[in-house]
Amino acid sequence: MTIFLLNACSSGESSTGLTPFPEKDEPKDEKLVEAATSYVQSRGAPPNSDYDFARVDLNGDGRREGIILFKLPHTYWCGWDGCGMLILKAGKDDFTPLSTISNVRGPIYISSETNNGWRDIIIRTSGTNMADKNIKLEFNNGNYPQSPLLAPTLEIPLSALNTQTFFR
């Protein structure tokens, strides 16, 4: 058996390293967790609420917004048609709630196409009494639509878009 150990040290000179961290003027993940906790408390939701989160720059300002997909307790956040999702806008030092979207299941796709300066979000809707289809959530009037059931169907194949995938 062979074991390889990697060791890095600094000589005081600039180095790129194996996993460079972006030096952005944006809030850290801890601030995202604080904002999500504050949102849960403001709704009177169960304090043991659980979620997954992702960071992606949705508006091209160089700061990655927070995307929260709630998952537990299932009976509070989710239904037969999916779970709640929260978009938090990144500021310099914090996050503010931007949009809440219901009926979401992973995966979600963030398109390179934009509306009103914000990237489109593509989700798949399905349920016992609805046809499976991809929905395009476009940013209008300061937010994304609250219900994907009222948003337009994606008219082109998902494979034709340049997207990033989250919450697989």
Token reading at 123: 């989700």
Cis before residue 20, ω within 30 degrees of 0?
Answer: no
The DSSP string of 144-157 is: --S-GGGSPBP-S-
Taking only the tens of pLDDT, the chain with its 168 residues reads: 444 333 333 334 433 445 444 556 899 999 999 999 999 999 999 999 999 999 999 999 999 999 999 999 999 999 888 899 999 999 999 999 999 999 898 899 999 999 999 999 999 887 667 678 899 999 999 999 998 877 888 988 888 899 999 998
User: Contact at 8 Å (CB) between 125 and 102?
Assistant: no
pLDDT the model gives residue 11: 38
pLDDT the model gives residue 54: 96
pLDDT the model gives residue 35: 97
Task: State how far the Cα of 29 lies from the Cα of 34, in Å rounded to an integer.
Answer: 9
User: Contact at 8 Å (CB) between 135 and 144?
Assistant: no
pTM score: 0.81
The DSSP string of 82-101 is: EEEEEEEEE-SS-EEEEEEE
pLDDT the model gives residue 3: 41
